[in-house]
Amino acid sequence: MDLPPLSFHPSLEEQWDEEEDPEEIETVLKVFPPAYHKYLDVFFKVKAEKLPPHRACDHHIEFEENVEKGFIRPSSSSTGAPVLFVKKKDGGLRLCVDYCKLNAVTRKNRFPVSPMNKLLTVFKGSTIFSKIDLRGAYSLLTIKEGDGHLTAFRTKYGSYEYLVMPFGLTNAPASFLNIVNDIFADFLDV
């Protein structure tokens, strides 16, 4: 299949050509089969990782804040999950770590999670309710000493690893629910 050549506004092409690193071009030429060389502009790291300038700055500040809070630390792990950004309702971006490969090899915690219809029947006839705010609760659960390298993720600012439970790990919800049930064991059937 022969696709039409990609074209950009001339000023954009000039800007992008200035940013291309000769070593990166050489690496890409080695990695990608010759049939794809005419589409090289799609594969360059510099172009693929660009965010609007204020976004990149915002995320650097977010990493620094999380280091200061003790949620993450710089990592020297030989592996690291990729990150992606998901748009939030307020227009900002949320950093998400893609733990698919780690989750695929993780032995699953089969802690029973009650179905919603069963939970709702417990409330039948109740007149007084209470609620608990668990918004920052994951950040209260620490990663087992020595396992932090498993949560490592790569950013353009370097590699980091979590010291607290991150979102996205396959066993995070079950582990969290197990702890909450232990804490409120006396109230589960009240």
Can you give the pLDDT at residue 87? 83
- The fraction of the chain above a pLDDT of 70, given in percent, is 72
Q: Is residue 4 in a domain?
A: no
170 in the same domain as 92: yes
| 3 state DSSP class of 85 | strand
pLDDT tens digits for 110-129?
877 777 777 778 778 888 87
Q: What is the pLDDT of residue 15?
A: 44
- The residue segments making up the domain with residue 105 are 53-187
Same domain? 59 vs 35: no
Q: Provide the whole-model pTM.
A: 0.62
Report, in angstroms and rounded to the nearest whole number, the Rg of the chain calculated over CA atoms. Answer: 23
Mean pLDDT for the chain overall: 77
Top pLDDT among 185 and 145 is at 145
Which of the two residues, 96 and 135, has the higher pLDDT score?
96
pLDDT at 94: 82
Phi/psi of residue 148, nearest 5 degrees: -60, -35
Residues 6+ apart with CB under 8 A from 155: 59, 63, 83
Please count the other Cβ atoms lying within 10 Å of the Cβ belonging to residue 166: 21
The CA distance from 175 to 142, in Å, is 11
Provide CB contacts within 8 A for 93, sequence distance 6+: 51, 55, 58, 59, 85, 86, 87
Number of domain units in the chain: 2
CA pair distance 87, 95, nearest whole angstrom = 9
Are both 116 and 163 inside the same structural domain? yes
Residues 39 and 63 in one domain: no
Closest CA relative to residue 141, chosen from 101, 177, 111, 114: 177
In a domain, 147, yes or no: yes
Cα separation, 89 vs 154, in Å, equals 25
**Residue 140 within any structural domain of the chain:** yes
d(CA 154, CA 59): 13
SS3 label, residue 172: helix
